[in-house]
């Protein structure tokens, strides 16, 4: 599937998140130090949105139980989460954020 234009890059400030949906999949765009990442929005520990989670040092913290996930590869870094989040290829082209909706791994609770 081709890349999907989901947002203007200027909409996502450093440390901020933006929730988008592509083909029914909730994808969280995250700006960490100027690098944009795209991860599945639903925590693999509990079906909780990661939108608004604390972003620091290349990680995002689930606002419900505090599990940390790597923004780079989706790995669950701390309990209570034990399974990785799917990640999605993302790039900025001409000021627009483009996401390839192909997941790195299936989401264990969602898909």
pLDDT digit string (tens) for 10-36? 999 999 999 999 999 999 999 999 999
- pLDDT, one tens digit per residue, over 54-104 is 999 999 999 999 999 999 999 999 999 999 999 999 999 999 999 999 999
CA distance 49 to 52: 8
Does an H or E element contain 29, and which? strand 25-32
The model's pTM is: 0.94
**For the chain, first and last CA: distance in Å?**
18
């Amino acid at each position: 599937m081709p890349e999907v234009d989901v947002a203007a890059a200027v909409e996502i400030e450093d440390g901020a998140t933006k929730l988008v949906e592509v083909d029914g999949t909730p994808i969280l765009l995250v700006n960490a130090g100027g690098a944009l990442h795209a991860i599945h929005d639903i925590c693999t520990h509990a079906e909780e949105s990661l939108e608004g989670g604390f972003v620091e040092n290349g990680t995002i913290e689930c606002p419900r139980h505090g599990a940390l996930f790597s923004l780079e590869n989706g790995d669950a870094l701390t309990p209570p989460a034990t399974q990785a989040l799917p990640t999605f290829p993302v790039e900025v082209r001409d000021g627009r954020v483009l996401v390839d909706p192909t997941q790195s791994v299936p989401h264990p609770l969602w898909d």
